[in-house]
Amino acid sequence: MVKIDAENRACLAVLLLAAVVLVAAAWLRGPEYDEQYTLFLTAGVPRPAWPETVFPAGLVHALQSGHADIASIARNLRATDVHPPLYFWLAALWRQVAGDSLFVLRLLSVLLGLGAIGMVGVIARLVSIRPALAMLLTLGCYGFAYTGVIARGFMLAQLLVLTGLVLLLSRRSAWSGLTAGLLFGAATMANYLAVFVPVGVWLLMAGRLSCRQRPDAASTLRSLILIPLGMTPFLLADLWFFIAQRHTRPGQFPPFEWLPSLSRLGRYAAANLLGGLPHYVGAAWLSPVFAVLGLVLCVGVGLVAWRWRRIADPDPRWLLLAAATAPPIGLLALGLAFDNTPIELRYLSFAVPFCALLLAGALGSLPATARLVLTVPLVAIQSLALAGMASRIETMQPARDTARAAQHLADDTVILLPHGNDGVGIVGAFAREMPPATPLLLIEAGKVRARLAGLHPAGLHPAGLHPAGLHPAGLHPAGLRPAGPLRVALAAMEQDDSSRLALAEAKSILAGPCWRPIAEAGNLTVHERHCVSD
């Protein structure tokens, strides 16, 4: 009884720590491209029709403050994106209740993340692994914490998959397999890639059933039938969305090649567990940091292999291994099938809790002193990685860094911002970091010269750039003032081929005889026009 109480207190302490860490990261991290689509979609404006002239940054806030209904979200998703609807439906309801800000929306992911960590503890207890240690290592994994603070559907899918596994492992009723299948199916409606874990688990169960006689063969066979039965309605709904979406993001990933894909897979797998420390140490420290991280990974993998027979019972440990390896194998198979490389850190995050459970099982099987010696440096490294995730600009997308440089510019400097392939990610992320009156001009390949030619200093006073006073040209008459030199700042925020082409064209024009560079900060360059031939 005393041991159970101590374990419960330890688990509660980890949950409280997780709440502090995730809320802090949600508050401190800069806005991301994909989060803007969540905001625009749930506001009912999935693809804004931006003015072709100067408009204020506050227009983005105004457009993102609306509320869309369930049907319009589903309709817009089928037409404009490559994701299923469940998370966006939940996010829309959350925004109506809790508020419209990005931080408030991120708190939804934080709550889902706390639930997922709780489910990790339940799984650990069911398979005789130290629950608090498994929860702590899961929280420390960069990929888990990162997906637990961004306003996307990864953590909802993670929570549903983990809850399904809890039901599958507990086997409290003959229908646990059906309920688990329903949860697995719902997870795929939060993120298509969540399907890898239940598929891996199902294949393992089928393989082990066929290998030898088992005392629980009837129960396993029933689960093998009920899991797909529960998932089927959701998979059919996924198919209805995917068929409409499959051509909406051409060229999103580079073509598939084995060696680059395996290299990318290895890098992101390591980053999921140990974070981005190499990104925020000086060049002199890179080699030692890589060596230490490589050693830690090798020790972790070696420890799991060495203590394999002491990690839980045979069935649970093989199930955890299947769940941990299914996402990377699935991504490789997906890339090979569609000739692209869909390997990103957050896609691999579905494997993270199971890696943490295996490692916790291996560490927990050691004597107390050895366990402490190995656990403390691992947790220290993970803590440094999470501190960097929350505070270091190197781990964030460039919107915040670019905006900080832009905030020191004169009020009448027009920010030239790439439209990108959808007009959502770059525009929304940058504008949310700027004062509402900041003048923005979107640039697109083939249209840069015409849009620059239409700029005149007379209409760029900040008094004329309030969203409530928008005129067709994006300016309010009260903003007119005598003409002076025209200044523009080019925000070199590359996200896709469209933004790269637009930036290359803008740089070529701004290198011409009528423009001269006057300042540079990070990926922001300021130019002044001194003639009008352009």
For residues 195 and 292, membership in a common domain is answered with yes
For residues 304 and 339, membership in a common domain is answered with yes
Q: Is 516 helix (H, G, I), strand (E, B) or coil?
A: strand
- Secondary structure letter of residue 119 according to DSSP: H
Q: How many domains does the chain have?
A: 2
**Residue 385 within a domain:** yes
For residues 292 and 421, membership in a common domain is answered with no
- Residue 215: both structure tokens together: 């005392």
For residues 378 and 469, membership in a common domain is answered with no
Q: Is 50 helix (H, G, I), strand (E, B) or coil?
A: coil
Asked whether 220 and 210 are in contact (CB, 8 A), the reply is: no
For residues 226 and 257, membership in a common domain is answered with yes
**Residue 96 within a domain:** no
Asked whether 476 and 451 are in contact (CB, 8 A), the reply is: no
Residue 466: what pLDDT?
A: 43
Distance CA 218, CA 238 (A): 30
State the burial class of residue 436 (Cβ atoms within 10 Å of its Cβ: 0-12, 13-18, 19+).
middle
Could you give the angle at which helices 2-28 and 131-140 cross, rounded to 10 degrees? Answer: 10
For residues 347 and 453, membership in a common domain is answered with no
Residue 283: what pLDDT?
A: 76
Q: Is 100 helix (H, G, I), strand (E, B) or coil?
A: coil
For residue 114, the number of C-alpha atoms closer than 13 Å in the C-beta half-sphere is 17
Q: Which of 380, 395, 410 is the last residue of a domain?
A: 395
**Residue 42 within a domain:** no
Distance CA 526, CA 487 (A): 7
For residues 445 and 372, membership in a common domain is answered with no
Beta partners for 1?
A: none
For residues 370 and 426, membership in a common domain is answered with no
Residue 475: what pLDDT?
A: 38
For residues 417 and 314, membership in a common domain is answered with no
For residues 183 and 321, membership in a common domain is answered with yes
Asked whether 431 and 440 are in contact (CB, 8 A), the reply is: yes
Regions of the chain short of the pLDDT cut 70: 1-4, 211-215, 248-252, 457-484, 532-534
Q: Is 416 helix (H, G, I), strand (E, B) or coil?
A: strand
Q: Which of 374, 395, 416 is the last residue of a domain?
A: 395
**Residue 66 within a domain:** no
Residue 4: what pLDDT?
A: 64
Asked whether 150 and 180 are in contact (CB, 8 A), the reply is: no
Residue 472: what pLDDT?
A: 37
Q: Is the Cα dihedral 21, 26, 32, 34 positive or negative?
A: positive
Distance CA 244, CA 78 (A): 5
Q: Which of 336, 371, 395 is the last residue of a domain?
A: 395
Digit-coded pLDDT (tens) for 283-312: 778 888 889 999 999 999 999 999 999 998
Q: What's phi and psi for 379, nearest 5 deg? A: -65, -35
For residues 291 and 157, membership in a common domain is answered with yes
- The count of residues in the chain is 534
Q: Which of 516, 454, 507, 463 is nearest to 487 (CA)?
A: 516
The pTM score is 0.91
**Residue 144 within a domain:** yes
Residue 213: what pLDDT?
A: 56
In order, the DSSP letters of 429-487 are HHHTTS-TT-EEEEE-TTTHHHHHHT--GGG--GGG--GGG--TTS--GGG------EE
**Residue 48 within a domain:** no
- Secondary structure letter of residue 195 according to DSSP: G
**Residue 244 within a domain:** yes
**Residue 480 within a domain:** yes
For residues 196 and 233, membership in a common domain is answered with yes
Could you give the angle at which helices 154-170 and 196-211 cross, rounded to 10 degrees? Answer: 20
Q: Which of 473, 476, 483 is nearest to 462 (CA)?
A: 476
Q: Which of 124, 191, 181 is nearest to 157 (CA)?
A: 191
Q: Residue 382 belongs to what domain range?
A: 2-30+101-395
How far, CA to CA in Å, does 75 sit from each of 72, 177, 430?
5, 32, 27
Residue 250: what pLDDT?
A: 62
